[in-house]
Amino acid sequence: MGANKRSAGESANNGKRNKSYHARKTEQTTANLGLSVGDRGVYITSEKGKEKSSCREVVKLLERYVALHYPELAKEEPKSDEKEQEELTIEEMVKNELATINSEKGKPKDSIFKQIDTKITCISFVTCPDTIDINFLVKEIMQDIAKNKKKDTRFTNRLIPFSNVCTANFSDIEAAIKAAGKDYLDNKDLANKRFMGVVKIRNNNTVNKEEIIKAIGSIFAENHSVDLNDPDFTVIVEVFRNICIVSVLTDYVILRKFNIFGLFSDGFAEPKKSIHSSEPKE
């Protein structure tokens, strides 16, 4: 009598979670790669073994552009009391500085961006709040790399913004495509544009690539035409296990598929002559 009831999933051994519970949680986290439905952010490809370093440098780069375009979201550095500082001896100032450094060791810096380690070679994600137009921000970065022939990353290959995350089933993917491409469906000023679709599926046997390609065509073909060489906008669908990211990007070809090294070395791409097709690109 006196023994407390334990919640489901706890063993009789000191109330600890049993192994099957932890296994299920691990499988779930691994399957969705740390992303949640509705997330937005950037999909990163990097050098093998440099995924975490790539994530960190991408966050640093994004934070710099946020400070330029969204100053109200940028973190302000704490201001010191000049009068108080003047009254301190050099020895006391050094001592205070060392104490501050030691107190911050091991603490993650506050950021509006969240780094996600997928445990997949060369692939990682960074998510961001809805208040940021991530497509605009990343496009600015890519254009600056091409124009200035300067890059501030060492380990990052591609940086693809995504505006939606959904579960990897056909109906949810179709809905996510419509949501991401809403402007091209509802805005009459954006009618008669050229588009193409890019679909990639990894570690998933339930989603049919051809169905998604046809869905992209049927969603946008009424008001737009397919162009595989010089599209005005590109619909990108990437499936990873049981999660899917969706992007609708402009200047995808001109910006060399958002490849940092390509833009750094060769600048903007010259699109080939437009070729209209009845189907998006596979």
- For the stretch 172-199, pLDDT in tens is 999 999 999 999 999 999 999 999 999 9
Residue 23 amino acid letter: A
Helix (H, G, I), strand (E, B) or coil at 91: helix
The whole-model pTM stands at 0.76
- Residue 51 phi, psi dihedral angles, 5° rounding: -60, -45
CA distance 271 to 11: 62
Which domains, ranges and CATH numbers included, belong to the chain? 40-71+109-266 (3.30.2130.30)
Instruction: Calculate the CA dihedral of residues 25, 30, 36, 41 and round it to 10 degrees.
Output: 150
- For the stretch 194-217, pLDDT in tens is 999 999 999 999 999 999 999 999
- For the stretch 266-282, pLDDT in tens is 999 998 877 665 455 55
CA distance 8 to 18: 10
Q: Is the pLDDT of residue 5 over 50?
A: no
Q: Strand 194-202's sheet: what is its strand order?
A: 164-167, 243-250, 233-240, 194-202, 225-227, 276-277
